[in-house]
Amino acid sequence: MQVTQSNMKETVQAKWNKRPLIISGPCSAETEAQVIETAERLARTGKIDMLRAGIWKPRTRPGSFEGIGTKGLPWLQQAKKLTGLPVAVEVATGKQVEDALHFDVDVLWIGARTTVNPFSVQEVADALRGADVPVLIKNPINPDLELWTGAVERVAKAGIKQIGLIHRGFSAYGNTEYRNAPMWHLAIEMKRRNPELMIINDPSHICGRRDILMEVAQKAIDLDFDGLMIESHIDPDNAWSDAKQQVTPERLAEMLGEIVWRKEDINSEEYHAALEKLRQQINHLDDELMQILSQRMKIAEKIGEYKKNNNITILQTNRWNEILERAFRKGEKLGLGKEFITKYFDAVHMESINHQNKIMNS
Ligand code: PEP
Ligand code: MN
């Protein structure tokens, strides 16, 4: 079928609603030949829904490749014509929005370094007014759900009806396993607050390296994300940006074949009955835990009375260390992680201090 911009709208609709939605392509459009070969090799896998390519690259430091600019947009048009894949581009200014729309870019996304800046987001939103184009919004580089939400609101107020989220991790100082810490709990919280918005995961910018892309992608699917955006390049090691994290279209197809795709729910009475039974056991145990915690607080209050009568401080560091050491030893035997034990006992200990504080200062 001849790809025209009007039947493309239907294709984009269908892709937007498809689960999982898979977007791939190079970090940056570099040359016309590279864009076209990438698109053709991706299309040949039959596993890709949209082609991505960075045209304007917001680089953290000057001096690295800053994107090919507007001259790359016709290359994307050509790639779309040859493969039928809708194309997605990052926009950070009003002019970039205009240029992208002028060259029939099908989906726009706002990058992490733009989401942090309300002035930039507003400029993009103003340029979007009246346009009928889906927009994906990456999380801001810093772990702030309000900025992410603010960007969604600005774009929505400009009249954009189809908005989706991209979770690409958060900057952290120092070397970690990841280029950007996933902080999954933040993505989960954003999903909880906005159940109507689709959210896809970007393992490439979380990992910053190709060897751990699979595990992050799998985790996203296990957490019921709606899709993935993964960078691919015909010659990853020689990519002009983000070389370490890109994979060839063929390797990407292999990875997508290895992922265990899960669904949020199934229509089976047996499954639901079994699940319900286990959930009741969990509820029951949670109730018991709370009873026990409440008893623990009562005892802490009694200790508070004693301390008050003898004018002793609430916090006794030795005792707190002893509690933690004991909990680590026991927890290890019971299969509970050290990080969990620390967080749990911190919370319990703080609550005990609050209870004692009330007693001591009443
Ligand atoms: C990108 O997608 O190539 C990019 C620059 O991503 P981010 O905004 O997540 O850093
Ligand atoms: Mn990139």
Q: What is the DSSP string of 83-151?
A: H---EEEE--SHHHHHHHHHTT-SEEEE-HHHHT-HHHHHHHHHHHTT----EEEEPPSSS-HHHHHHH
Residues 277 and 206 in one domain: no
**In terms of domains, do 135 and 11 share one?**
yes
State which ligand 1 atom lies nearest to the alpha carbon of 58. Answer: 5
For the whole model, what pTM was predicted? 0.86
Do the domain assignments include residue 132? yes
Q: Return the ligand 1 atom nearest residue 202 CA.
A: 9
* Pairing outcome for strands 21-25 and 198-201: unpaired
* Residue pLDDT, tens place only, 60-99: 888 889 999 999 999 999 999 999 999 999 999 999 999 9
The predicted-structure confidence for 199-208, as pLDDT tens digits, reads as follows 999 999 999 9
Give me the pLDDT at residue 59, please: 84
CA–CA separation, 2 and 159 (whole Å): 30
CATH of the domain at 322: 1.20.59.10
What is the pLDDT at residue 316?
Answer: 81
138 CB less than 6 Å from ligand 1?
yes
Residue 232: inside a domain: yes
Which tens digits make up the pLDDT trace of 173-196?
887 899 999 999 999 999 999 999
* Tokens 């795709």 belong to residue: 261
Task: Check if 168 has its Cβ closer than 6 Å to any atom of ligand 1.
Answer: yes
Domain's final residue, options 258, 281, 309: 258
Average pLDDT, the chain: 95
Residue 219 and residue 354 share a domain: no
Based on the fold, state whether residues 237 and 277 are members of the same structural domain: no
8 A C-beta contact, residue 101 and residue 74: no
At 7-37, the pLDDT tens digits run 899 999 999 999 999 999 999 999 999 999 9
- For residue 100, is pLDDT > 80? yes
Q: Among 205, 231, 258, give the residue marking a domain's end.
A: 258
166 touches 201 (CB < 8 A): yes
Of the bound ligands, which one is closest to the alpha carbon of residue 168? 1
Do residues 230 and 213 make contact, with C-beta atoms less than 8 angstroms apart? yes
User: Which domain-ending residue is among 228, 258, 288?
Assistant: 258
Domain count, the chain: 2
| CA of residue 209 to ligand 1 center, whole Å | 14
Chain centroid to CA 281: how far? 32
Task: Indicate whether 237 and 350 sit together in one domain.
Answer: no
How, if at all, do strands 163-167 and 227-231 pair? unpaired
Name the residue range of residue 188's domain.
5-258
Which of 58, 55, 91 shows the shortest CA–CA distance to 71? 55
**How many angstroms separate the alpha carbon of residue 57 from the centre of ligand 2?**
8
Q: Report yes or no on 264 lying in a domain.
A: no
Name the band, by pLDDT with cuts 50, 70 and 90, for residue 1. low
3-class secondary structure, 313: coil
Same domain, 112 and 13: yes
Regarding whether 235 and 145 lie in a shared domain, the answer is yes
Residue 352 has pLDDT above 80, yes or no: yes
- Over residues 213-258, the pLDDT tens digits come to 999 999 999 999 999 999 999 999 999 999 999 999 999 999 999 9
- Considering the domain architecture, whether residues 156 and 282 belong to the same structural domain is answered as no
**Residue 92 near ligand 1, beta carbon < 6 Å:** no
pLDDT at 314: 80
